[in-house]
Structure formats: C-alpha cells, structure tokens
Structure 1
C-alpha cells in the first residue's frame, strides 16, 4: 500500500515537472544576434589606496623574485589620529598563527606588486630583522574603560 502511494506520488511529481518545463518559453531576440551591437565592457576604475579587509591576512614577502620568502602575515593596521595608516602589525614566525610574534612595520615602506596575476605585499626586510623587533604592544590602542558611576546612592544605614 505504502509502496503504491510513494510510486504514484513520485510519478505525479515527475510528470508535473516535465509539464512545467515545457510551458516555459524563452523570449525571442529583438534583432538577429549577429547584427546586435555588443557594448564594450566598462573598464574597472582602480582606486588609490586599499581596503583594510584586503590587507588584513595578506601574506608579506621580502621581494618579488623567484627566491622571495614569505616573512609573515598582516594581523592588523594602525591608524594615526587623522585616520591615515601608520603601520601594519605583522605576525612573524610561529606555525599557522600559533606562537607568532606581532611586530609593527611602517606602512609607507610596504609596496604592492603583481606576480603571476596575484597581488603581493612586499616589505624590504627579512624575517630575522622583523623577529628582532620588540613585540607590538596593543594596550595603548585598547578602548578606554567605561567610567564608574559615582552618583550611585550608598545603601541606607540599618535602623
């Protein structure tokens, strides 16, 4: 009984799908496709600068040659009080981000290069030079703690 019900339901669904596919029509082109003018694709405008989301996580290399070495990954970007990028925080060493040392590197010394159709972030330094720098101290950039409410009333004295 159940087998018959399932079979007829599947058959009805199959027939309904076929009937639906046959009723769909494609609109006829207004002109012969050979005669239609194809508009050239608009060129993509390249902006000056970069989005932070395109920089964070980016691998940093020490050059563009075949012997270029991956010296770390960008973990963060530091901005000055005017909103200009001041430095990038590069995670150096470690394995898959574990045990990496974060160091600050001057943003103006970074360069973008294109290699094999991919954009590379280049820092003219070595992994050893970055590792020798002091750890980046994030505490100066932490948000200020919320002020305590000093207007709170003291509990009433027991009577």
Structure 2
C-alpha cells in the first residue's frame, strides 16, 4: 500500500472513536495488528492470533504510530516495529 497520498490525522482526530479498530502496518507494509483501545497517550494493539483469537495486547506510545486515512477514508497506522517486536513486548493487562 502506498501511504504517500494518505492524509495524516490531526492531533484533534486522535480519539478512541476514530482510532479503535484501525489496522497497523509494519515496516514491510505487512498488516501486523489492530488498535483495540486507547489509554491517554498509549495505544493498545492486538497483535498475532487469527480473527482476534489468540491475539496478544501490547501498549505502545501513540507518538510511535503514524495515523492516516486512505483514499476510502479508512483509518490505519504505520510503525517501524515488526510483528515479532510487538509480540516480544510485555502483554498489556487491564
């Protein structure tokens, strides 16, 4: 996916209603997870698993994710972390 034409979200748009469910893409443009929920400056990402089963939740700083909208208006984010790096992080517990 070419992200160069996608519109970056403003800080005012970085709200749970907009971010929850957003797909997260890694450095090789592979789909590596999705936003489960937001805790102030932390974004909780579900990574791994299949169709949400067996996924691990990890919390990362929102500033480490580049959120944007594609041509269809769908919100997604790009990160420099790989799926393996996210899976190696401590699990987020509520």
Give me the TM-score of the superposition, normalised by structure 2: 0.77
Q: CA deviation at 1:130?
A: 0.2
1:69 and 2:30 equivalent? yes
The gaps in structure 1 that reach 5 residues or longer are 1-45, 80-85, 139-159
Q: 2:65 aligns with which of 92, 98, 110?
A: 110
Larger Rg: 1
Moved over 6 A (4+): none
Q: 1: distance between equivalents of 2:10 and 2:79?
A: 22
Larger relative contact order (Cα-Cα within 8 Å, sequence gap ≥ 6): 2
Equivalent of 2:12 in 17, 26, 49: 49
Query: Whole-Å Cα distance in 1 between the matches of residues 54 and 89 of structure 2?
Result: 16
- Secondary structure of 2:53's counterpart equals coil
1:97 is the counterpart of 2:52:
yes
Q: CA deviation at 1:48?
A: 4.0
Name whichever structure is richer in helix by fraction.
Answer: 1
Residue aligning to 1:132 = 88
Query: 1:62-110 deviations in whole A, cap 9, x for unaligned?
Result: 14xxx5101101001012xxxxxx1100000001111100001111111
SS of corresponding position for 1:49: helix
User: In the TM superposition, what is the alpha-carbon distance from 1:137 to its structure 2 partner?
Assistant: 1.6
Partner SS for 2:12: coil
Q: State the SS of the aligned residue for 2:87.
A: helix
CA distance in structure 2 between the aligned counterparts of 1:95 and 1:114, rounded to whole angstroms: 24
Q: Given the two structures, how large is their TM-score scaled by the length of structure 1? A: 0.47
